[in-house]
A = this chain, B = another copy of it.
Amino acid sequence: RPVDKEVDFANYFCTYAYLYHQKEMLCDRVRMDAYHSAVFRNASHFQGKVVLDVGTGSGILAIWSAQAGARKVYAVEATNMAEHARDLARANGVSDIVEVIQGTVEDVELPEKVDVIISEWMGYFLLRESMFDSVICARDRWLKPDGVMYPSHARMWLAPIRTGLGDKKMEDFDIAMDDWSLFVQDTQTYYGVNMNALTKAYRAEHEKYYFKSSIWNNLHPNQVIGQPAVIKEIDCLTATVDEIREVRAQVTLPISMDARLSALAGWFDVHFRGSAQNPGAEEIELNTAPDDNGGTHWGQQVFLLTPPQKVTNGDNVNVSFSMVRSKENHRLMDMEFTYELHELSGRKHPAVTTKIYLE
C-alpha cells in the first residue's frame, strides 16, 4: 500500500519543522562529534566534490561539507526547516556552495550526480522512522557509481539487561486496573450501565501500553548482563529497501553475571568508512550503546520480558527476533521476540514469545 504523503506529514515530518526538535539533535554531542569528525577527518572525500545531504534539517551537515571544501552541496529538506537551513548557510558564508531545496528527496531533481551522500537518517533502534528508504532512493537516483555514503555502514544490536523499569510499569498497570474496577462499580451505581464487558479490552489496551511498548532509556553499561549481539548489518552503499523492510535474526546471548534478566535492549551503531574503492582516511564510529559518559538522544530501546527470570553467569538466552513495519504506519515497527533460557546446568526453560511495539 503506497504511503499517503499528507498522512506522512501529519504523523512524521511535522515534528522536524520545530527548531526545538532540531536543537535536540544538535545538542547530542556524541552524534555531533561523530559526524563532525567523519567530515573533517575525511576532508579529501569532500574537497572539490559534489555532496547531497538527505534531510538537511537545520543544514548542519551541509554547512560542514561546504566548510570541508565541497564544491557544491545540495541540501534537501521536506519541511519548512529548509528556510532556516538557507538562512544558516548564508550567515555562515557558504550560501554560494550550499543549495537548500525544499521537498522530499524522492521528488527533487538535481542538475547533476553527486560524489557523496551524507545523511543522518537513523531513528530509534536504527530503523524506526524508515528514513533510510529515502536515502536508498536518493542513492539510486543521484550517487555516482564511485560515490561514497556517509555513514557507510550500520548495525543493530541486542543485549540482555537488568532494569527496574518493568516493576514500575507493573505498579502503574495495577493502579490503572484498580482504578478501572472502581470505575466499573461507580458507573453501575450512578449511571446504571455495566462496563464489565470492556474490562478485557481495557486490560489488553493497558498491557500493550505498559508492557508491550518499547521504552526509551539511557542505560548504564552495568545494566548489560551478558554479551550483546549484532542482529543486522547494513552496507549503505548496496542495501535495498527489501533488505530492511523486515529484520529477522536468531542469536544466542551469553549471560555473564548472576542477575535478574528483565529485558532485552536494542541500539545501533554506524560507521563512516568511505567505500571499498575509496576508503576514508580515518574510520569514525557513532555508537549509541549504553555508555557511562552519558547517552545520546536515541538512548537505547528497552523491551520488557515479563516475568523477569533469574539468570546465572554461564547461562545462555536464545532469542529469535523479527521486526516488521506496522500496518498502520510504515515508520513504526512491530517486533516479536521468542526467548528461551538455557541454564548452564543444562536445564532448558520453555520458550516464551512476546510482541513489542516500537512507536
Contacts and interface: CB of A to CB of B under 8 A. Distances in A.
A187 to B, nearest CB: 7
Contacts of A185: none
Main SS of chain A's interface residues?
helix
A202 B32 contact: no
Interface stretch (A56-64, A166-174, A214-222, A287-295): A56-64
A276 interface: no
A18 B176 CA distance: 14
Contacts of A7: 4, 6-7, 9-10
A261 to B, nearest CB: 30
Contact of A190 (B32, B63, B84): B32
A176 to B, nearest CB: 8
Interface in A26-70: 26-27, 29, 32, 36, 58, 60, 63-64, 67
A87 B198 contact: yes
A206 B20 contact: yes
A227 interface: no
Contacts of A9: 7
Contacts of A23: 180, 183, 202
Contact of A19 (B4, B64, B90, B205): B205
B198 A88 contact: yes
Contacts of A36: 190-191
Contacts of A194: 91-92
A84 B193 contact: no
A29 B27 CA distance: 45
Contacts of A206: 20
Interface in A197-214: 197-198, 201-202, 205-206, 209
A195 interface: yes
The complex is assembled from copies of this chain, and their number is 2
Nearest to A192: B67
Contacts of A88: 193, 195, 197-198
A11 interface: yes
Contacts of A10: 7, 10-11
A108 B91 CA distance: 56
A251 B65 CA distance: 57
B64 A193 contact: yes
A196 interface: yes
Interface in A301-333: none
Interface in A232-250: none
A64 B191 CA distance: 9
A269 B9 CA distance: 35
Given A4-B4, A6-B6, A92-B194, 6 more contacts: A4-B7, A6-B7, A18-B205, A20-B206, A23-B202, A26-B183
Question: Which 8 A-B pairs have CB atoms at the shortest separation, nearest pair first?
Answer: A91-B197, A10-B10, A87-B197, A19-B202, A6-B7, A7-B10, A4-B6, A88-B197
28 contacts: A4-B7, A6-B7, A7-B7, A7-B9, A10-B10, A10-B11, A18-B205, A20-B202, A20-B206, A26-B183, A27-B183, A32-B190, A36-B191, A58-B198, A60-B193, A63-B193, A64-B191, A64-B192, A64-B193, A84-B197, A84-B198, A84-B201, A87-B198, A87-B201, A88-B195, A88-B197, A92-B193, A92-B197
